[in-house]
């Protein structure tokens, strides 16, 4: 748990410097294309040319709900200004992993994370890290659009207000965020109207505007299109491609075409019965460039899943 008396100053990590630890030999700043194991790195099986610069790194991350280990020893890195897709059959732990990346799991009683998740080399679960600051820098968009029962304007202004963001002109922040979410032209004449009057796709873009209003560096998206029709889905996918110029995105999706269309890298998870009690524990099977995962996966389980033979 955090100690609000001694929060680590995460703001010292400049958002426009994706990797302030680059060159620091004491900090692991490299990310990998395949699942990273010390053996693989030592054996040179990971091509350094293909390594992204990591903004988030997971090392041996397991997540428990009470005594149940939902996800076992995930090691992967999230490349800056990339879209990383987490795919796999239901229950393999995609959302669990996603929520652990910004400590959203803290809000579920009994959840425990072991291993290390680092943001710019800093352990986000360290005792003195403020989870609120973690969630400001690593924002989240949920499956179902969930605007507040407020006006369009107030939905976007809410985050900057409650986080005490210093801003000389809130109107500018609202406009910039709505433009960033490709929604401005559709709502500029009705900013004071209820967000509930928007279509589902517009509401989801409003939620994206609300997320970017507090100027995060990373956006986590948990099946952001599953409640939307194909046209609204296409708009969100176009928006993601725009957003990745300024943000790093991690998306959970059941839609493999979507992963293939938008993601630079894809992580395939599965859940297998653990020895002993038979609990199905999720784990990372393969993490690679999306083109490789979909054309020449390294593991039969990935191939079976993407070809529809399983899952």
Ligand X SMILES: Nc1ncnc2c1ncn2[C@@H]1O[C@H](COP(=O)(O)OP(=O)(O)OP(=O)(O)O)[C@@H](O)[C@H]1O
Quote the least distance from Cβ 307 to ligand X, whole Å: 19
If one asks whether residue 19 binds ligand X (CB under 6 A), the answer comes out as no
Residue 226, Cβ density class (10 Å: 0-12 exposed, 13-18 middle, ≥19 buried): middle
Which C-beta is closer to ligand X: that of 50 or that of 279? 279
Quote the least distance from Cβ 299 to ligand X, whole Å: 17
- 57-93 exposure pattern, b = at least 16 Cβ within 10 A, e = fewer: bbbebbbbeeeebbbbebbbbbbbbbbbbbbbbeebb
Residue 165 DSSP code: -
Which C-beta is closer to ligand X: that of 125 or that of 269? 269
Please give the residues from 120 up to 149 whose contact with ligand X meets the rule CB under 6 A. Answer: none
Residue of 108, 126, 162, 273 interacting with ligand X (CB under 6 A): 108
What six digits make up the tokens of 115? 């291993």
Among residues 235, 26, 222, which one has the least CA distance to residue 139?
222
279: helix, coil or strand? coil
Distance CA 30, CA 248 (A): 16
Distance CA 264, CA 288 (A): 9
Which C-beta is closer to ligand X: that of 83 or that of 152? 83
Binding mask 70-99 for ligand X (x = CB under 6 A): x-----------------x-xxxxxxx---
Binding mask 275-294 for ligand X (x = CB under 6 A): -------x------------
Quote the least distance from Cβ 119 to ligand X, whole Å: 21
Binding mask 178-217 for ligand X (x = CB under 6 A): ----------------------------------------
How far separated are the first and last CA of the chain, in Å rounded? 36
Residue 36, Cβ density class (10 Å: 0-12 exposed, 13-18 middle, ≥19 buried): buried
Quote the least distance from Cβ 56 to ligand X, whole Å: 17
Which C-beta is closer to ligand X: that of 94 or that of 283? 94
User: In the beta sheet, which residues pair with residue 284?
Assistant: 269
Which C-beta is closer to ligand X: that of 88 or that of 159? 88
Which C-beta is closer to ligand X: that of 52 or that of 282? 282
Which residues in this chain contact ligand X in the complex, by CB under 6 A? 65, 70, 88, 90-96, 108, 282
């Amino acid at each position: 748990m955090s100690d609000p008396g001694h929060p680590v100053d995460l703001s010292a990590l400049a958002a426009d410097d994706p990797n302030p630890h680059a060159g620091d030999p004491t900090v692991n700043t490299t990310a990998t294309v395949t699942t990273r194991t010390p053996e693989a790195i030592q054996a040179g099986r990971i091509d350094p040319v293909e390594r992204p610069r990591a903004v988030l790194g997971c090392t041996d991350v397991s997540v428990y709900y009470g005594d149940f280990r939902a996800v076992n020893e995930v090691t992967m890195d999230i490349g800056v200004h990339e879209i990383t897709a987490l795919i796999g059959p239901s229950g393999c732990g995609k959302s669990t992993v996603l929520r652990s990346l910004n400590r959203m799991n803290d809000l579920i009683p009994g959840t425990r994370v072991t291993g290390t998740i680092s943001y710019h080399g800093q352990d986000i679960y360290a005792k003195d890290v403020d989870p609120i600051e973690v969630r400001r820098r690593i924002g989240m968009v949920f499956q179902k659009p969930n605007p507040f029962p407020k006006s369009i304007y107030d939905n976007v202004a809410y985050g900057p207000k409650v986080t005490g963001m210093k801003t000389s002109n809130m109107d500018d922040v609202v406009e910039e965020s709505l433009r960033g979410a490709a929604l401005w032209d559709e709502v500029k004449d009705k900013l004071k109207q209820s967000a509930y009057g928007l279509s589902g796709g517009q509401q989801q873009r409003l939620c994206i505007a609300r997320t970017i209003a507090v100027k995060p560096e990373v956006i986590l998206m948990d099946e952001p299109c599953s409640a939307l029709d194909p046209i609204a889905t296409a708009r969100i996918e176009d928006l993601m491609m725009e957003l990745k110029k300024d943000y790093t995105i991690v998306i959970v999706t059941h839609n493999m075409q979507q992963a293939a269309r938008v993601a630079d890298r894809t992580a395939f998870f599965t859940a297998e019965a653990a020895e002993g009690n038979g609990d199905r524990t999720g784990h990372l099977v393969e993490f690679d460039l999306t083109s490789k995962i979909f054309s020449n996966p390294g593991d039969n389980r990935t191939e079976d899943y993407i070809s529809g033979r399983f899952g």
